[in-house]
Amino acid sequence: MENLLILKGNIIFTQTPEEFKVYKDSYIVSNKGKIEGIYNILPEKYQNCLIKDYRNRLIIPTFVDLHLHASQFIQCGMGMNKKLLDWLNDYTFKLEKDFSKAQFAQEAYNSFADELIKRGTLRACIFATSSTIGTEILFEILKKRGIGAYIGKVDMDRNAPESIIESKDQLIKGTKYLIEKYKNEKLVKPIITPRFAPTCSDELLKELGSLANKYDLPVQSHLDENLDEIKWVQSLFPKTKNYSQAYYLNDLFGQTKTVMAHCIYLNEDEINLVRENNVMLVHCPDSNINLRSGIMPVRKYLDLGVPIGLGSDIAGGHRIALNESMVRAVQLSKILNINSPGIKPLSIQEVFYLGTKSGGKFFGNTGSFEKGYSMDALIIEDDKLISGRYSIEDRLEKFIYTGDDRNICARYVEGKYIEI
């Protein structure tokens, strides 16, 4: 019975995007990190087990952030007057070169991990930098902290400062080293990460695609974020019909599990390619507004059945807390709705679903509390004036809109308590 974890409290999650499932004053039981069930009355077989009684607090799934750059955490909230390509040149690239210095990487990635975990994101798809040493440090830090993550060495061999690009052979060597070292890890795993098509030669993309196939590894990158970027891709890849094809033709677009950030301007051919290849899109609302990239047509994609998760996109996005990205996703959808009343805004249930169960699918059965799912949970405490007066759904909505790490009083990943 030592593998059992029983939490008691007000359990709330989204099994579907339409509604919250609520179990008031109930027990959620997991065995070896997997959920066995939720019970209003605890079955007899569990009666003698230790129960962690969280009383009137909320028990919710942990947040899943499908797109962020760990190395950019310390530049959050800077350079926000710029658009994507200038912002990358003036801020991001300059900072990223310092991650080849072990001490700097250690310090910066530790503060990133502290904040990520405090804010309740315990599954994430993360870009490190092109530095193999720096990326290895990030693997070690997150492995020690016990959270679930895909981590990518950011591969690029052109169109970035010399200080952060490597030759194709160096990149492949470093990427392979990290794959070999971490491919059998349970929670922290490698992901193939071309930064974005403009910083990768066709030959590099091809080799990354064969690595993804050879090791059956997932892929992450950026796609159709900004109109200037799209024009640039057209000039760099004149033979491809569209931006998505630059990845697709190199086996980096759904041939293995793939997640693509932004995807604001997908044309109809690209949407079809996304659907045929089951590519997961990441909506990064804060970033898209900060860098004036545009607004993702989330409703249109959802209606077409395209899988979507949420991303803070640190540091295009300025806040690492995913509940804040949920709020921004609702707000942006309301702007679209104000301008075109036919486009239904996103509901609080829908954005919670995107940031938990929908994004969680990238990690297997995570982000929900259904049977067989991973016991990844946050315990949320709110003010007595609130908890005594409002419904569980209202309390969760209030936490999403106004809550922060002060409201999160415990965190679990696969049934293990996560220290902060």
Contacts to Zn ion by CB under 5 A: 313
**What sections of 195-284 are H helices per DSSP?**
202-215, 227-236, 243-248, 268-276
Spatial distance between the Cα atoms of 287 and 224, rounded to a whole number of angstroms: 13
Residue 390 CB contacts under 8 Å (≥ 6 apart), including other chains: 398
Q: Counting Cβ atoms within 10 Å, is residue 47 exposed (0-12), middle (13-18) or buried (19+)? A: exposed
Spatial distance between the Cα atoms of 59 and 43, rounded to a whole number of angstroms: 20
**DSSP conformation class of 293:** -
Q: How far is the CB of 222 from Zn ion (least distance, A)?
A: 5
Complex with Zn ion: residue 309 or 345, whichever CB lies closer: 309
Complex with Zn ion: residue 70 or 332, whichever CB lies closer: 70
Q: How far is the CB of 291 from Zn ion (least distance, A)?
A: 10
Complex with Zn ion: residue 313 or 324, whichever CB lies closer: 313
Complex with Zn ion: residue 65 or 381, whichever CB lies closer: 65
Spatial distance between the Cα atoms of 154 and 208, rounded to a whole number of angstroms: 11
Residue 12 CB contacts under 8 Å (≥ 6 apart), including other chains: 20, 21, 22, 23, 58, 59, 60, 392, 393, 396
SS3 8: strand
Complex with Zn ion: residue 8 or 262, whichever CB lies closer: 262
Q: What share of the chain is helix, strand, coil (3-state, %, to 5)?
A: 45, 25, 35
Spatial distance between the Cα atoms of 282 and 268, rounded to a whole number of angstroms: 18
Q: How far is the CB of 293 from Zn ion (least distance, A)?
A: 11
Complex with Zn ion: residue 261 or 375, whichever CB lies closer: 261
Q: How far is the CB of 314 from Zn ion (least distance, A)?
A: 8
Residue nearest to Zn ion (CB): 313
Q: How far is the CB of 105 from Zn ion (least distance, A)?
A: 19
Q: How far is the CB of 194 from Zn ion (least distance, A)?
A: 12
Complex with Zn ion: residue 263 or 306, whichever CB lies closer: 263
Q: How far is the CB of 128 from Zn ion (least distance, A)?
A: 12
